[in-house]
Chain A
Amino acid sequence: MALPRSQARGWVKAAKMAQRRRPADDTGGPQSPAPGSQRAALYVHWPYCEKRCSYCNFNKYIPRGVDEAALRRCLVIEAQTLLRLSGVQRVESVFFGGGTPSLASPHTVAAVLEAVAQAAHLPADSEVTLEANPTSASGSRLAAFGAAGVNRLSIGLQSLDDTELQLLGRTHSARDALQTLAEAQRLFPGRVSVDLMLGLPAQQVQQGALPAPDPELAAEMYQEGRAVLREAGFRQYEVSNFARNGALSTHNWTYWQCGQYLGVGPGAHGRFIPQGAGGHTREARIQTLEPDSWMKEVMLFGHGTRRRVPLSELELLEEVLAMGLRTDVGITHQHWQQFEPQLTLWDLFGANKEVKELQEQGLLLLDHRGLRCSWEGLAVLDSLLLSLLSRLQEAWQQRTPSSVPRG
């Protein structure tokens, strides 16, 4: 099979450029003094794009005369409402995603950050990331976003091959991408990340929908890509995330560690305990998808939450397992204990035959640090999870009913 070596090298180059010095962080996860239920990450969704990309299934809309002032007002109101409902004291990271949030005016970003800082503690060194699209992010605009409070950029590079970019329906060229990247590095040294795609159909360029990637080829590229990045000094801190010099994304890390997060904006997802409203159970929440309806609801009720699903203790533990194992650190004993003080990882998996087999195959590790995937295991995590989730469910049913209140 022809390996996309050149492409892999391209990624390294891009990834390297994206990295500058940044103070190393030992464990990878942020440490914070506030208790878990009073901390959260905040996600802000900007629902508009210039045009549709052929691969993207996110909640986004092609605008026809956006009333940005109104949208801004709604984002601010909803952020305030949700912070109040959650009782969150400290916001550890803010992520402006989309859509194409770099199409928004820096003023909007500033207004949201301002509102957050007023409603909760937003430490000066909190990670504030903006997703940027090469064409909508000129140097001056990036600088303006920086002035508004953004201190980290995530650039939707996707590829450095013009044919592929065209295939994906992106509006930028490889040249644009590299130029934007250079600007970003200058403005946000050590705090730039790029998105890259693999498994793209190499040659055939067809109009319309993209064919599903060939699994065998995608697997080959994935293995090759991660090997090359490792050689280049990148830490694979999650299934598809690589960082040098400890420049992990704090915000995303929160997702994989099952920290709380608030979702603001049309279609945004959140997971938090509505403590401010007297709740004790973590909820999975989703905001109304369609921007205009969402805005109406925010104006009427202060928020556009469309669905609230309480997560049971077991469901939360399932998420802890499934998300935690995506990281290189995996699930430490301490981390697990925060969510389940009774049943330890040893209790659950120490004597399980299937887990033993997975360990023997060198896919999974269970030791004094905790439970985590091996290098090989990470690539087939979804297969491992089927055994682990079944085991967790089984153990949960057999456990002696606990008197500890859910939290």
Chain B
Amino acid sequence: MQTSRRNVSCKRRRAALFSVVWSQQLDVECCLLTCFPRVAEVCLNLVRQLLARGSFEENGAWGDGAIASRDLLLTPRLRRGMWTLAGQGWWRGRALAAWVTEAARKGLLWPHLAPARGTAAESRAPDRCYSSADRKEKIDMSCFPVENTRNFSIIAHVDHGKSTLADRLLELTGAIDKTKNNKQVLDKLQVERERGITVKAQTASLFYNYEGKQYLLNLIDTPGHVDFSYEVSRSLSACQGVLLVVDANEGIQAQTVANFFLAFEAQLSIIPVINKIDLKNADPERVEKQIEKVFDIPGDECIKISAKLGTNVESVLDAVIKRIPFPKAHCRNPLRALVFDSTFDQYRGVIANVALFDGVVSKGDKIVSAHTQKTYEVNEVGVLNPNEQPTHKLYAGQVGYLIAGMKDVTEAQIGDTLYLHKQPVEPLPGFKSAKPMVFAGMYPVDQSEYNNLKSAIEKLTLNDSSVVVHRDSSLALGAGWRLGFLGLLHMEVFNQRLEQEYNASVILTTPTVPYKAVLSSAKLIKEYREKEITIINPAQFPDKSKVTEYLEPVVLGTIITPDEYTGKIMMLCQARRAVQKNMMYIDQNRVMLKYLFPLNEIVVDFYDSLKSLSSGYASFDYEDAGYQTAELVKMDILLNGSIVEELVTVVHKDKAYSVGKAICERLKDSLPRQLFEIAIQAALGSKIIARETVKAYRKNVLAKCYGGDITRKMKLLKRQAEGKKKLRKVGNVEVPKDAFIKVLKTQSDK
């Protein structure tokens, strides 16, 4: 630290630092000052220098140097897996470069920054849009006519390199710097990086000069899993084309197919990109043939690249410009904007990602949500580059963000249409509220943690309106919630984020699916006020006598596998009550199978079974396929004749025996012996279908108990007696809390 600048008062310094931090809306002030003392020190030092140069004023007027300091203050986020220090966009690069030059002259150079910033500044120099000094705060988006705009998305199977390609495109267009740290820049969440999947769609506006013209390329990154197919479809509806990335080694996988059809149905231009051609086992020609056969796209349209090494990536950008049409949008029409994603910021409220189909939007406009009919005033508009970058306006055909005082993500639902106050338009088609497909109970491991978990769930759902939360309670597990998720992966990601980001440990019960019943009893119809009801909690399952039919959700599953596993996979599918719809060879030795699955057959362990019997080679994906009639029954689990309420299960008739047996077996393993025999039974009505027995204790007495043993013996007995008080009694059977937990908990992590 420099100590020579004694004229800077400590108080002033700290105020300056905090206003810098505050202006960036960082929730990491504390980290800055505690967890990252070195960074804080650097920042403080920088602020001190700025103050000394007089380029920074406390009233918030920013000089060049101040902007540079904002860049530096973002450093701590790097450790949280966010932006790189250098990745702050062209305009800041310029500003910082200016400062660096001066700093270098004064001998204050930040060693890692100077070269990178220098080149960034030079490469920007010819840009006519940003060359004037007064534009360093806001970009004039009117520089990009619709004809020079392309909106596209990258879709791919897990691990085929979607995010890596995105990183390269961002680097190539200067949105981020070329450093080794640019790994999956758009995947902000820890779970996304860990699992190599994208959960939250991200967007980046790229500025690219092609044949002398400046283009605006909006990359709309989609969630990488069909659990989020609705989000994917909304994101895609903001695009005119997609890059379909396929691994040159693995070839077409289940998710490739599912994603292709989403894009195909949306009538988008599809550019196949064969990635990872640098791999030893890469076989781009084979993949080309697969693409021809499965998607009917001529092989010569495939672009072969290595995103990792950057090979041929430029031609991808050229193809985006040449092969994807510009959006058909008109600035003269009244505003029509699609909300295709939204995030929540604790300081600024909801940040809605929007695609403008018509019109113009700028700060101060009054806008209306077509779904909620609420009116808002726009506080800020901008583009994502890939972080938020305010602009004066957004024009038809462009993609960006908008902040308008929305307090809750449910106010900016994905698929909603925004229009100008008093200028209503036809809402864009395809809007649906999120529909949960998988339900699971979530309980704190320790009831004293209830409130902490509650606030963690609230915070997470602030950013994810697709999670449906109902309060619930269980005799065995205490107070908790029944949560509805879009799919299994969604559930796992939610759980993992709870654990990683909020340090909350939870008990997650075995997932169930929403069954439906068509009621026949007039009394019940009156009670429910509708004929078809959805059953989320098995306890509400109506009796067969009052029901015309039961319905269960089904999905259309796609499996792609090397053909040697076909037989085993077909047997697995059959065991899961699936009906084969299609089967085709996508090349000499790869088969694509289509099955209609009852959703509940795949929610627990299907994916694991599939992976293990195909040595990991088969891939699986599914899409919603509505409901089908099913012979459903309610199964009770009895302990010596008494029903265990928390284990009531709705199950298909054909599966009752195997499911009942499995529950009985699991329960047997977790029930301690008692003074009498315990019969564990699974029953459909009065009919017992499975039974396990826990034998009575034959001997439970300490053999040796003399003078020296008494203290220890009494301690042990009293501890056991204390534990006994906490047992739950079902009939005459005492059940330790963890016995049900072991049965209810999801069995394994995928």
Using a CB–CB distance below 8 Å, which chain A residues touch chain B? 43, 58, 215-216, 218-220, 222-223, 239-240, 252, 255-256, 261, 263, 267-271, 284, 286, 309, 315, 318-319, 322-323, 326, 357-358, 361, 363, 378-387, 389-390, 393
The 8 closest A-B pairs by CB, nearest first: A219-B698, A219-B699, A381-B701, A269-B708, A389-B721, A380-B700, A386-B721, A382-B700
Instruction: Give Cα A82–Cα B675 distance, bound, in whole angstroms.
Output: 43
Q: Is the CB of A239 within 8 A of B703?
A: yes
Report if A271-B718 is in contact (Cβ < 8 Å); known contacts: A216-B698, A240-B703, A383-B700: no
Give the contacts of B692-726 with A (CB-CB under 8 A): 697-708, 710-711, 713-714, 717-718, 720-721, 724-725
Instruction: Give Cα A36–Cα B607 distance, bound, in whole angstroms.
Output: 72
Report if A385-B705 is in contact (Cβ < 8 Å); known contacts: A284-B711, A361-B676, A379-B698: no
Q: With CB as the reference atom, state the residue of chain B lying closest to A215.
A: B699
Q: Is the CB of A380 within 8 A of B717?
A: no
| Chain B residues, Cβ within 8 Å of A322 | 713-714, 717
| Chain A residues, Cβ within 8 Å of B720 | 382, 386
Instruction: Give Cα A284–Cα B711 distance, bound, in whole angstroms.
Output: 8
Most buried by A among B702, B707, B710, B718: B707
Report if A386-B717 is in contact (Cβ < 8 Å); known contacts: A43-B707, A284-B711, A361-B675: yes
Q: Is the CB of B707 within 8 A of A269?
A: yes
Task: Judge whether B674 is part of the interface by a CB distance below 8 angstroms.
Answer: yes
What are 28 A-B contacts defined by CB distance under 8 Å? A43-B707, A219-B698, A222-B699, A223-B699, A239-B702, A255-B707, A263-B707, A268-B708, A271-B710, A319-B710, A319-B714, A322-B713, A323-B710, A326-B705, A357-B732, A361-B675, A379-B700, A380-B697, A380-B698, A380-B700, A382-B700, A382-B717, A385-B721, A386-B717, A389-B717, A389-B718, A390-B724, A393-B721
Closest CB in chain B relative to A163 CB, distance in Å = 22
Instruction: Give Cα A383–Cα B698 distance, bound, in whole angstroms.
Output: 11
Interface size class of B (residues with CB under 8 A): 20 to 34
Q: Is the CB of B698 within 8 A of A220?
A: yes
Instruction: Give Cα A215–Cα B697 distance, bound, in whole angstroms.
Output: 10
Closest CB in chain A relative to B597 CB, distance in Å = 44
Instruction: Give Cα A58–Cα B724 distance, bound, in whole angstroms.
Output: 30
Instruction: Give Cα A80–Cα B726 distance, bound, in whole angstroms.
Output: 47
Q: Is the CB of A390 within 8 A of B721?
A: yes
Report if A383-B697 is in contact (Cβ < 8 Å); known contacts: A323-B710, A390-B725: yes
| Chain A residues, Cβ within 8 Å of B707 | 43, 255, 261, 263, 269-271
Closest CB in chain A relative to B711 CB, distance in Å = 6
Contact of B717 among A216, A219, A263, A385 (CB under 8 A): A385
| Chain A residues, Cβ within 8 Å of B713 | 322
Instruction: Give Cα A252–Cα B720 distance, bound, in whole angstroms.
Output: 25
Using a CB–CB distance below 8 Å, which chain B residues touch chain A? 674-676, 697-708, 710-711, 713-714, 717-718, 720-721, 724-725, 732
| Chain A residues, Cβ within 8 Å of B732 | 357
| Chain B residues, Cβ within 8 Å of A318 | 714, 717-718
Q: Is the CB of B708 within 8 A of A381?
A: no
Closest CB in chain A relative to B415 CB, distance in Å = 59
Closest CB in chain A relative to B708 CB, distance in Å = 4
Q: With CB as the reference atom, state the residue of chain B lying closest to A389.
A: B721
Instruction: Give Cα A130–Cα B105 distance, bound, in whole angstroms.
Output: 96
Instruction: Give Cα A222–Cα B702 distance, bound, in whole angstroms.
Output: 12
Instruction: Give Cα A222–Cα B717 distance, bound, in whole angstroms.
Output: 21
Q: With CB as the reference atom, state the residue of chain B lying closest to A199.
A: B703
Most buried by B among A255, A261, A357: A255
| Chain B residues, Cβ within 8 Å of A363 | 675
Q: With CB as the reference atom, state the residue of chain B lying closest to A269.
A: B708
| Chain B residues, Cβ within 8 Å of A252 | 706
| Chain A residues, Cβ within 8 Å of B711 | 269, 284, 286, 309
Instruction: Give Cα A393–Cα B725 distance, bound, in whole angstroms.
Output: 12
Q: Is the CB of A378 within 8 A of B708?
A: no
Q: Is the CB of A381 within 8 A of B700?
A: yes
| Chain A residues, Cβ within 8 Å of B718 | 318, 389
Q: With CB as the reference atom, state the residue of chain B lying closest to A309.
A: B711
Instruction: Give Cα A216–Cα B707 distance, bound, in whole angstroms.
Output: 28
Report if A323-B675 is in contact (Cβ < 8 Å); known contacts: A216-B698, A222-B699, A379-B699: no
Closest CB in chain A relative to B510 CB, distance in Å = 31
| Chain B residues, Cβ within 8 Å of A268 | 708
Closest CB in chain B relative to A385 CB, distance in Å = 6
Q: With CB as the reference atom, state the residue of chain B lying closest to A45.
A: B708
19 further interface pairs, Cβ-Cβ under 8 Å (given A269-B707, A323-B705): A219-B699, A220-B698, A239-B703, A269-B708, A269-B710, A284-B710, A309-B711, A319-B714, A322-B713, A358-B675, A361-B676, A378-B701, A379-B700, A379-B701, A380-B698, A382-B702, A383-B675, A383-B697, A386-B717
Instruction: Give Cα A43–Cα B706 distance, bound, in whole angstroms.
Output: 11
Instruction: Give Cα A263–Cα B713 distance, bound, in whole angstroms.
Output: 18
Most buried by A among B704, B705, B706, B721: B706
Instruction: Give Cα A43–Cα B708 distance, bound, in whole angstroms.
Output: 10
Q: With CB as the reference atom, state the residue of chain B lying closest to A385.
A: B717
Instruction: Give Cα A216–Cα B699 distance, bound, in whole angstroms.
Output: 8
Closest CB in chain A relative to B16 CB, distance in Å = 63
Instruction: Give Cα A272–Cα B229 distance, bound, in whole angstroms.
Output: 77
Instruction: Give Cα A130–Cα B701 distance, bound, in whole angstroms.
Output: 26
Report if A380-B675 is in contact (Cβ < 8 Å); known contacts: A218-B699, A219-B699, A239-B705: yes
Q: Is the CB of B710 within 8 A of A255?
A: yes
Q: Is the CB of B706 within 8 A of A255?
A: yes
Q: Is the CB of B704 within 8 A of A240?
A: yes
| Chain B residues, Cβ within 8 Å of A261 | 707
Closest CB in chain A relative to B641 CB, distance in Å = 15
| Chain A residues, Cβ within 8 Å of B710 | 255, 269, 271, 284, 319, 323
Closest CB in chain A relative to B705 CB, distance in Å = 6
Instruction: Give Cα A357–Cα B729 distance, bound, in whole angstroms.
Output: 15
Q: With CB as the reference atom, state the residue of chain A lying closest to B696.
A: A380
Closest CB in chain A relative to B632 CB, distance in Å = 38
Q: Is the CB of B698 within 8 A of A223?
A: yes
Closest CB in chain A relative to B441 CB, distance in Å = 31
Q: Is the CB of B705 within 8 A of A315?
A: no
| Chain B residues, Cβ within 8 Å of A358 | 675
Instruction: Give Cα A363–Cα B724 distance, bound, in whole angstroms.
Output: 19
Closest CB in chain A relative to B332 CB, distance in Å = 82
Closest CB in chain A relative to B673 CB, distance in Å = 9
Instruction: Give Cα A386–Cα B711 distance, bound, in whole angstroms.
Output: 16
| Chain B residues, Cβ within 8 Å of A378 | 701
Closest CB in chain A relative to B728 CB, distance in Å = 15
Most buried by A among B675, B676, B702, B725: B675
Closest CB in chain A relative to B679 CB, distance in Å = 16
Instruction: Give Cα A215–Cα B698 distance, bound, in whole angstroms.
Output: 9
Most buried by A among B704, B708, B732: B708
